[in-house]
Amino acid sequence: MYNLLKGKKGIIFGALDENSIAWKTAERVHEEGGTFVLTNAPIAMRMGQIKALAEKTGSEIVPADATNLDDLQNLVEKSMEILGGKIDFVLHSIGMSVNVRKGKHYTEQNYDFTTKGWDVSAVSFHKVMQTLHKNDAMNEWGSIVALTYMAAQRTFPDYNDMADNKAYLESIARSFGYFYGKDKKVRVNTISQSPTPTTAGQGVKGFDGFIAYADMMSPLGNASAAECADYTITLFSDLTKKVTMQNLYHDGGFSNTGVSNEVMEKFMK
């Protein structure tokens, strides 16, 4: 390894199990010399294996509902206490749609479900950064990253209201990124990842088709969760100090490919 994060401290949201990008990122941060607090909502912690990750990486866990400002305040205070000072990096790897879980079509949403999913998937990113900002919890040249998907730019019918949530998430990154950069020299970016077989991702209808199509379309093939973790490490490091307010595509070239020979061959049969 390269010791890219030696001496750096942070918070990682959303590690559920070994399939999750947050889990892979935590492992890579540990390998690169960084220390961190793990956090997730209490219900997600009961469903996952976060304790095993904490033991493996020598990390502490502070439960927090990322939509609850009191929980976030407690998380930031305790993280600074555990880590011995201000924070250098944060990963926001949170997203869910109740409409998707309940099988509600995009044109027939339950708006209470919509509001809940929007709060968890997007507004929580603003709440996290607002809490960090109010507490002056980030070191200068710190880095905050959220995970997104290009359904924010293009229509994927079965992605449902998660597409709207991701579009809002990306907008928050740009808007808050401006102020965080001006005030504290903190970077804020989103990574638009290939469809990845995480526990959450596999809940989307037709997900296997998503993955197969994207892999055929991408010149380099789909990016894995482990490869996304590698990319995230570069954004947490000092090698990307002037990268901020960006939506960064990590998708093997899918986002710039109109059509591939492999996809054309499927249609020509």
- Residues tagged in the binding site annotation for NAD(+): 14, 20-21, 94, 166
Q: Is 159 a catalytic residue?
A: yes
Q: Is 249 a catalytic residue?
A: no
Q: Residue positions in the annotated binding site? A: 14, 20-21, 94, 166
Catalytic residue among 106, 111, 159, 178, which?
159
Write out the E strands in the chain: 9-13, 35-39, 60-61, 87-92, 138-148, 187-193, 247-250
Catalytic residue among 106, 111, 149, 180, which?
149
Rounded Cα distance, 5 and 225, in Å: 19
Long-range interactions of 125-130: CB distance < 8 A, separation 24+: 125/92, 125/94, 125/169, 125/172, 125/173, 125/176, 126/172, 126/176, 127/66, 127/67, 127/69, 127/72, 128/13, 128/66, 128/72, 128/90, 128/92, 129/172, 129/176, 129/180, 129/188, 130/176
Catalytic residues: 149, 159
